[in-house]
Amino acid sequence: MRGLAVVAAASAPPWTAHDTRLILCAAAAVALVVLLVVRARLHAFPALMIGSLLMGLAAGEAPNAVATSFENGVGGVLGNVGVVLALGTMLGRLLADSGGADRIAETLVSHSGRRLAPWAMALIAMIIGIPLFFEIGVVLLIPVIFTVARRLEAEYGDGGGAAGVHNTYLLVGLPALAGLSVLHGLVPPHPGPLIAIAAVKASLGTTLLYGLIVAIPTVAISGPLFALVAARWAQARPPVRLVEQMTRETRVENPPGFAVTLGTVLLPVALMLVRTVADLQLRSGDPVRKWCDFIGEPIVALLIAVLVALYTFGVARGVDRRSLGTLLGDSLAPAASILLIIGSGGGFKQVLIDSGIGGALATAAQHTSLSVLLLAWLVAVLIRLATGSATVATVTAAGIIAPVVAASPTTNRALVALAIGTGSLFLSHVNDAGFWLINQYFGMSVRDTFTTWSAMETLISVVGMGCVLALSTVV
């Protein structure tokens, strides 16, 4: 039962009035954003801006610093996710117009049916999610999720429930999101787990093995099983233009085969996996590693995939170049609103981080007397709630817990890394850009996003931590 040693709070830094002020300001800012969107019916973009600016000012930051924090947060998110989303949307449009998405959906539905489709989507997401950031995985899977959902509706009906015909999107979408999220938080080579492993000096191989052991039951419970319940109380109404774009019937007589379609979709996954393997096996100055790092960079890998898709889904199917150019241009229109909301979510997150709220919550956690595993989880949970960033939660929690682990030689370090990872996934809400990504893609209200996506993330965190604690009794 290594890892269950109790940590004393005597060495924790003192609690200050400023810490209390920061926590109250953060809670008020989150509540304000929710009220503006839900009650005042204000668009999420200005609501997040208002919440961000008021939060920074109330926390005592200089007015110009607050604006700068928000701008940096927006730029940081859009500089990465924005390009990924644009390229992914292009790839999705090519996949849909060629009939490739329909080919994948037809194969999946014919081999699984309605009952097993959620499990198949979770498995596909876990495979695709091994080398991918969460946002990239979502962008790549959205065309498949939408097309599978429409196929299931056409063949089996809507399945009843309060959500009507739209609950099928949740039935297949939530398992895929669960698979991506769990892999992102628990399994190397994702950056979060690698940061935690390095900070607590855990074994990479052991953490990978334990991470997979924890991931499988966590995905099963929080994905397919939870989706069966969540699809009965929430409504998913994806934007009509986006659904039509991602699921439109093929316009060519010879749609790509299943192998060609799957190979094109998985190409960026393979390129990023090559980068990961090269980083693990080759020295830092190796020329081969440099090229592998280049082609495995997410935006480069997706650009290569789009160029390949222009041939496999376009030229090879008889589509002329002018039509392909028009198609790529038109594909970006539905993504504009999504990009703005995601960017403002990133701005809100950055204002919270720059205010110092993470340090205040870490101090609060250290004033408790908990086992190392539970303390690691709690610190990550609190920082995740405050900042909305799983990566920030992981980095901060790992830095706080590392000295505690060093002073506790009987602690299983791999399990500590996993405890941090599970805590970093807890309750995604309005300060998380991922919350708005799911909200916009699935066309849900803020309330329904909380009762599906946020609830699923919380379930992942709690079930995952339960599995870590169970594993600590036998390793």
Q: Where are the domains of the chain?
A: 17-472
Phi-psi label, residue 160: left if phi above 0, alpha if psi -120 to 50, beta otherwise: left
3 state SS of 234? coil
Interatomic CA distance for residues 275 and 282, integer angstroms: 10
Phi/psi for 6 (5° steps) reads: -85, 140
Are 38 and 429 in contact by the 8 Å Cβ rule? The answer is no
Nearest to 195 by CA among 37, 392, 388: 392
Are 223 and 463 in contact by the 8 Å Cβ rule? The answer is no
Nearest to 436 by CA among 17, 28, 137, 138: 138
**How far apart, in Å, are the Cα atoms of 365 and each of 9, 31, 37, 386, 459?**
9, 22, 31, 13, 21
Are 354 and 69 in contact by the 8 Å Cβ rule? The answer is yes
Interatomic CA distance for residues 184 and 128, integer angstroms: 11
pLDDT number for residue 66 = 93
- Structure tokens that stand for 348 in this block: 């809100």
What amino acid is encoded at 275 in this protein? R
Are 354 and 61 in contact by the 8 Å Cβ rule? The answer is yes
Interatomic CA distance for residues 22 and 222, integer angstroms: 32
Are 314 and 94 in contact by the 8 Å Cβ rule? The answer is yes
DSSP string over 341-405: HHHHHHHHHHHHHHHTHHHHHHHHHHTS--BHHHHHHHHHHHHHHHH--HHHHHHHHHHHHHHHH
Interatomic CA distance for residues 284 and 270, integer angstroms: 21
Q: How many CA atoms lie within 13 A of 97 on its CB side?
A: 25
Are 105 and 152 in contact by the 8 Å Cβ rule? The answer is no
pTM: predicted TM-score of the whole model, two decimal places: 0.72
Preceding peptide of 189 cis, ω within 30°? yes
What amino acid is encoded at 78 in this protein? L
Per-residue pLDDT of the chain (475 residues; tens, 9 = 90+): 555 555 545 456 788 888 888 889 888 888 898 888 878 888 888 988 998 899 999 988 899 999 999 999 888 878 767 787 788 888 878 887 787 877 777 777 778 777 888 999 998 888 777 656 687 778 878 888 988 888 888 776 655 444 344 589 999 999 999 999 998 899 876 767 877 888 889 887 788 889 989 999 999 999 999 999 998 888 898 888 888 877 765 445 678 888 898 888 888 878 878 887 888 888 888 999 999 999 988 789 889 999 999 999 888 888 888 889 998 888 887 677 777 877 887 788 788 788 887 777 667 766 767 788 998 999 889 888 877 878 778 877 887 788 778 877 888 999 999 999 999 999 999 888 889 999 999 999 999 999 999 999 999 999 999 999 999 999 8
What count of other Cβ atoms lies within 10 Å of the Cβ of residue 31? Answer: 12
Nearest to 218 by CA among 428, 460, 418: 460
pLDDT number for residue 161 = 43
pLDDT number for residue 2 = 53
Interatomic CA distance for residues 182 and 175, integer angstroms: 11
pLDDT number for residue 462 = 98
Interatomic CA distance for residues 132 and 265, integer angstroms: 13
Preceding peptide of 14 cis, ω within 30°? no
Q: What is the largest CA-CA distance in the chain?
A: 72
Q: Is the dihedral of CA 12, 17, 22, 24 positive or negative?
A: positive
What amino acid is encoded at 437 in this protein? L
C-alpha dihedral, 30 to 73 to 37 to 35, nearest 10°: 20
Interatomic CA distance for residues 15 and 367, integer angstroms: 9
Q: What interhelical angle do 17-38 and 357-366 show, nearest 10?
A: 120
Q: Where are the alpha helices (DSSP H) in 60-203?
A: 63-77, 83-98, 100-128, 134-156, 167-186, 191-200
- Structure tokens that stand for 449 in this block: 């996003």
The residues pairing with 6 across neighbouring beta strands, listed in sequence order, are 371
